[in-house]
Amino acid sequence: MTVPDVRPSSPSATAAIGFDREKYIELQSRHIQQRREEIGGKLYLEMGGKLFDDHHASRVLPGFTPDNKIAMLERLRDELEILVCLNAKDLERQKVRADLGITYEDDMLRLVDVFRERGFLVENVVLTQLEEKNHIAHAFIERLQRLGLTVARHGVIPGYPQDTARIVSEQGFGANEYTITSRDLIVVTAPGPGSGKLATCLSQIYHDHQRGIPSGYAKFETFPIWDLPLEHPVNLAYESATADLDDLNLIDPFHLAAYGTQVTSYNRDVEVFPLLRTLLEKLTGSSPYASPTDMGVNLAGSCITGDEVCREAARQEIIRRYYKALMHERIQGEDDVVSQRIGMVMSKAGCSPSDRSVVEPALAVEARTGEPGAAIELADGTIVTGKTSALLGCSAAMLLNALKHLAGLDDAVQLLSPSSIEPIQTLKTEHLGSRNPRLHTDEVLIALSVSASSDENARHAIDQLRSLAGCDVHTTTILGTVDEDIFRNLGISVTSEPRFLRKALYHKR
């Protein structure tokens, strides 16, 4: 069994709270109601980010829970319905939601299930930027219809978003299929960014006007936070999260011109604002908004209770995003465009990879042993490491060592004996065709669970699994997908050095 390197605990930024969840839910739901009253008629509320399992927000705003937004909407549940958008191009390229490891196609179905389980009305889906050549998207439409959902098809509008004359016409929004809604508050959401939420809202408003139905638009986007400085680490963390989209935070020029004050927005909102304003002016005679910031209803900035806590949490998120980009580029064989963008964001935020507390300990294990190493930071700041051995991979060893430490067990205690590990190794190598005899994290946890029925120490260790949620891990090699899934399911944030365990052209993950 690997003997852990346990380092003394130090104050941990992840343990501190910097955001008031209850205040946020109260203020935000009240503000949305107020905007509804101001707009009158139907309100299409574009909701950026994730309505639930918003792990990015929970990491950069400690105290913000992943279900914050959905908890806020539950106060309005009987008055709203949810409309889900999906970009046909994301279906064609089989885009994957990185934090869950599933395609956008599967995530859309998951979203509908979760919304319905929570009592929300979800009947309509919109496929955006749809073209005849999108065969996967057309097949998915048929699948959605068989599942009882109503699907509207929105095509590609030439000149969007600059050619407002064409867009706000029968050849533009008029060519899109109309979604019939039954409630006056329509929350428009999507599996990820670039799904066409704004265009869907504007298309609906256009069609409503043609039918004599009064309607309007507002936007709920957690990031960037408009009343935080442009280069506040929390806003920079958002920039790092969308580096693959080449999004940029910027000062809202329309707000500056209208009110003489600087607030934070981002390039896509600024780019489409003229279209939004033109549409509203053409349809209603005037626009209620003088700037992109005006159209937002986000009050997250008002609920930050510990600015320095959130600054440090955001810096750590930027570093995580940097490592994620490096790893993705290594796996896909891509140029280092995204990682370089995030590298520049790191410079703005005044942080570097060495500021991630688990990086140096993991690298030190590898330097000392000549084999891959791993390190985890527990909630109290304690660092526990794991090394590669003949029996265990470094991640599995680290996980056992962490559970042992949390359970208060002596280092000499063997949670898994070699005799319990060897049969699993034999099964892997002699019967299942694996080249690697070492146990992965899932195999270790299964073996530990079996031992827990007769071993009190193993039982105490298993009981500590819930204590790992929110912890950070770093490994010196890229993890396999099995280990990635285990850490994700445990709520652990993992980064890795961008290199594989062995040199080869093909790597099975």
User: Which 3 state secondary structure label does DSSP give 127?
Assistant: strand
**pLDDT, tens only, 253-278:** 999 999 999 999 999 899 989 988 98
Q: What is the pLDDT of residue 439?
A: 82
Say whether 17-303 and 6-11+309-496 share the same fold. Answer: no
DSSP string for 153-166: EEE--TTTTT-HHH
Q: What is the pLDDT of residue 506?
A: 42
Q: What is the pLDDT of residue 481?
A: 87
Between CA 435 and CA 430 the distance in angstroms is 9
SS percent in the chain: helix, strand, coil, step 5: 50, 15, 35
Amino acid at residue number 231:
E
pLDDT averaged per 10 residues, the chain (length 509):
52 71 94 91 90 88 92 93 96 83 90 95 97 94 97 96 90 97 96 90 95 94 95 97 90 97 94 89 87 95 97 98 96 94 97 97 97 96 94 92 95 81 77 75 90 90 95 95 91 94 54
What CATH number was assigned to the domain covering residues 17-303? 3.10.630.10
In DSSP terms, 194 is beta-bridged to none
User: Which 3 state secondary structure label does DSSP give 110?
Assistant: helix
Q: What is the pLDDT of residue 8?
A: 55
Domain 6-11+309-496 has CATH 3.40.140.40: yes
Instruction: Please tell me the pTM assigned to this model.
Output: 0.87
**pLDDT, tens only, 335-383:** 999 999 999 999 999 999 999 999 999 999 999 999 999 999 999 999 9
Whole-Å CA distances, 461 to 103, 451, 458, 473: 34, 11, 5, 18
Between CA 30 and CA 37 the distance in angstroms is 11
Between CA 365 and CA 358 the distance in angstroms is 11
Q: What is the pLDDT of residue 4?
A: 56
Q: What is the pLDDT of residue 15?
A: 63
8-state DSSP, 304: B
Domain map (residue ranges) of the chain = 6-11+309-496, 17-303
